[in-house]
Amino acid sequence: MTTMVDSKKDKLNIPEIITQAVYNTPVEGVPAYAAILSIVKEGSMPRTEVKQYGNTVFITHFSEDKDLAVGRALNIDTAKNFIINGEEYFRELVLGGTKKFVAQFDQKSFATAFMAFKRKPITTEMKMWIVDTPKGNTQVRISLAGELIERRNK
């Protein structure tokens, strides 16, 4: 059973989010403790940042100049909050100088969230490509070119 926690009512900490996300999306043949340890190790890699927005943890690997970011999300927040958390995350990437973002995932709910981001671009020249990979995953490539678009109604 998938557990979601509305961050507007109960904001959890990073270890709680990671643990619950692992239990929400088990990987066949990988014990939960091994998945959690793998995520902890991933977060300590060079040029990697781990940030929390609501009840979503974003793990981002940056190129040396931070122009390119490869990221993933561990989410246990509501769908609505996940979209809000993602927009905040992408805004911070743009402010930090990131121009390109890539993610790959197998959860269809993430594809739905990216479609919402595509309908509401955060930069004046944002472009997004969503493609299925030969292994059955979904890959998203985003160009974050242009200026940030200010949001009046958040």
- Unique residue bearing structure tokens 């300590």: 44
Which residues lie closer than 8 Å to 110 by C-beta, 6 or more apart? 73, 75, 103, 138
Residue 32 neighbours by CB distance under 10 Å = 12
Separation between Cα atoms, residue 143 and residue 34, nearest integer Å:
34
Q: Collapsing DSSP states into helix, strand and coil, what is residue 23?
A: helix
Global confidence as pTM: 0.92
64 CA to centre of own chain: 20
Q: How confident is the model at residue 2 (pLDDT cuts 50, 70, 90)?
A: confident
Is the pLDDT at 138 greater than 80? The verdict is yes
Region of poorest pLDDT, from 8-22, 43-57, 137-151: 137-151
CA distance 114 to 21: 19
User: How confident is the model at residue 150, as a pLDDT?
Assistant: 87
Q: Which domains does the chain have, with CATH numbers?
A: 14-143 (3.40.630.30)
The answer to whether residue 31 scores a pLDDT higher than 90 is yes
